Amino acid sequence: MIPSLSPHRLLLALGALSLAGGGCLSSDALQRRTYEAHYQQAVQLCGHPDAAFQDGYNAGYAGDRMRSDWTAMCVAPARAEAFTAYQTGFLQGANNAPIKIVHAIAPIRGRLTTGPAVSQCTFSSDCGGEGYTCRDNTCMGYGSGGERCVFNADCLSDHCFAGACRE
């Protein structure tokens, strides 16, 4: 036997079921949404190369992917012009986009790190970064006990004495 629900609770239960079912879309529904989005974009931009350029520029500047699938919906004479304008705008926007730095973390002193990319160097950049520096044409940094050093920073223990790392 099914327990009876008050009209208020029945309405809430039906609402919850409809919301739960509405969150899942079938592949047909997703394809229809994609098609509708491309169609709306084509209606707005086909035959309007300046608008296509601006849309491409905005996408490139924002760091989005180039999405030019909508140009296939343009009539043949306008298709190539819309694609070229969108692509040109996208590339120019991507070139003008500000550089995004996610986050650079300096290695923690005392942590085991990999060795430098090369042992002989001319500049510190030859050592591969990560705290290694070029001194006397040799990459130095994170040296263990007894290894050659010039400054305390060249040693894992942060203690350089008489040209050798000390523990």
pLDDT at 112 over 60: no
pLDDT at 114 over 70: no
- How do residues 56-111 score in pLDDT, each as one tens digit? 999 888 888 888 888 888 888 888 898 999 999 999 998 888 876 655 555 555 44
- Verify that 77 and 106 share a domain, yes or no: no
Top-confidence range, 41-50, 53-62, 118-127: 53-62
- Verify that 121 and 78 share a domain, yes or no: no
- Verify that 80 and 109 share a domain, yes or no: no
Whole-model pTM?
0.44
SS (H, E, C) the chain: CCCCCCHHHHHHHHHHHHHHHHCCCCHHHHHHHHHHHHHHHHHHHCCCHHHHHHHHHHHHHCCCCCCCHHHHHCCHHHHHHHHHHHHHHHHHHHHHCCCCCCCCCCCCCCCCCCCCCCCECCCHHHHCCCCCEEECCEEECCECCCCECCCHHHECCCCEECCEECC
Q: Which residue has the higher pLDDT, 26 or 95?
A: 95
pLDDT at 30 over 50: yes
- Verify that 164 and 135 share a domain, yes or no: yes
Structural domain of residue 35, as residue ranges?
A: 26-96
Instruction: Check the CA dihedral 130-134-139-144 and report its sign.
Output: negative
- Verify that 126 and 142 share a domain, yes or no: yes
Percent of the chain residues topping a pLDDT of 70: 71
Query: Count of domains in the chain?
Result: 2
- Verify that 118 and 156 share a domain, yes or no: yes
